[in-house]
Amino acid sequence: MDEKNKGTLYLVATPIGNLEDITLRAIRILKEVDQIAAEDTRHTLKLLNHLEISKPMISYHRHNEEVRCDNLIKELKIGKNIALVSDAGTPGICDPGEEIIKKCIEEDITIVPIPGACAMINALIASGISTKEFTFIGFLPLNKKTRKEKLEEIKNSKKTIILYEAPHKLKSTLEDLEKILEERKIVLARELTKIHEEYIRGTIKEIISKTENIKGEFVLIIEGSSKKEKNELNDLTLEEHYSFYEKQGLEKKEIIKKIAKDRNVNKNEIYQYFI
Ligand code: SAM
């Protein structure tokens, strides 16, 4: 078939709470497509009713992704335009989408993202924690081994970390983070774009004490580790090395001990240098 006759798959971002957060372009695309593939058709129907759009819908969720993919590809191949939406935010971000996108690429079907709300990006930009480099982890795995590996990754990461968490799992996630984070800054972004939107800032201990019976949807933003590797520290001058620990609030005696350990020298040598 002539490629030009194929349809387009639009990846349409929808609001994450506040219904005003839908773009004019997203509304137009939802009106123009032949069909909408939705994670939960009942959920999307509420949005469509609000926008006064009536459109055939097909469910496309984690448990029928593979079967539905083939149907959708068939429709796209005969020239139908399809919008993919998830329950909230950007499709494909901790939501279904990856499978159909891969298949479309294989079949040379055009994919067009329609930008809009995404919880992680909005939590990050309002957090006050560095946006320069970040790692999006999504939900922490539940499997013990992979969860431990992820926690180790977070512990050592110098980049800002972004986590999603379901309300009923927040407590256990915060408890696991407490074991690895020490004094790093954390922001818990709650109920973004909704009436009870708030940002709870502090160390992990402070966050735990402030979130006893908290409810809602959450994104966790975690400051990157400022811990330096031994070889990085040893490239510093002794004064820089000293000030690195001083900034962490350590006492002179403790600093000298640490420098001596990092550099594998006797602590008296370091002590002599600084007097
Ligand atoms: N696709 C979505 C996006 O673009 O952000 C994410 C979907 S994921 C299944 C749902 C998770 O996103 C929630 O458990 C929560 O961590 C986060 N989330 C979604 N909406 C949120 C909101 N309004 N406030 C805070 N977190 C939210």
Which ligand 1 atom minimizes the distance to the CA of 89?
4
36 CA from centroid of ligand 1 (Å): 21
Per-residue confidence (pLDDT) for residue 183, from 0 to 100: 84
Q: What is the mean pLDDT of residues 201-229?
A: 92
Q: Is 200 in the pocket of ligand 1 (CB under 6 A)?
A: no
88 CA from centroid of ligand 1 (Å): 7
Atom 19 of ligand 1 has which residue's CA nearest to it?
119
Express as a percent the part of the chain with pLDDT over 70.
Answer: 98
Q: What are the tens digits of pLDDT across the range 100-115?
A: 999 999 999 999 999 9
Predicted confidence band of residue 8 (pLDDT cuts 50, 70, 90): very high
Give the side-chain half-sphere CA count within 13 A for 72: 33
DSSP state of 89: B
The bridge status of strand 35-38 relative to strand 57-59 is parallel
Residue matched to tokens 């110098």: 158
Which residue, among 161, 71, 77, has the nearest Cα to 124 in the 3D structure? 161
Atom 2 of ligand 1 has which residue's CA nearest to it?
89
Q: Is the pLDDT of residue 19 over 90?
A: yes
How far, in Å, CA of 161 to CA of 153, rounded?
10
How far, in Å, CA of 80 to CA of 68, rounded?
15
Kindly state the tokens that stand for 134.
């970040």
Give the Cβ contact number of residue 78 at 10 Å: 10
How far, in Å, CA of 205 to CA of 186, rounded?
10
Level-2 CATH architecture, domain 120-222: 2-Layer Sandwich (3.30)
Per-residue confidence (pLDDT) for residue 231, from 0 to 100: 73
Evaluate whether 262 touches 241 at the Cβ level (below 8 Å).
yes
Q: Is the pLDDT of residue 1 over 60?
A: no
Per-residue confidence (pLDDT) for residue 247, from 0 to 100: 82
Q: What are the tens digits of pLDDT across the range 23-71?
A: 999 999 999 999 999 999 999 999 999 999 999 999 999 888 888 999 9
If one residue of 19, 44, 90, 94 were mutated to test the ligand 1 pocket, choosing by the most ligand atoms within 8 A of its CB, it would be 94
Measure CA 148 to chain center: 18
Provide the whole-model pTM. Answer: 0.85
Buried b (16+ CB within 10 A) or exposed e, 149-166: ebbeebbebeebbbbbbe
Q: Is the pLDDT of residue 3 over 60?
A: no
Atom 8 of ligand 1 has which residue's CA nearest to it?
94
**Segments making up each domain of the chain, as ranges:** 3-117, 120-222, 230-273
Evaluate whether 84 touches 13 at the Cβ level (below 8 Å).
no
Superfamily the domain 3-117 falls into: Tetrapyrrole methylase, N-terminal domain (3.40.1010.10)
Residues 6+ apart with CB under 8 A from 70: none
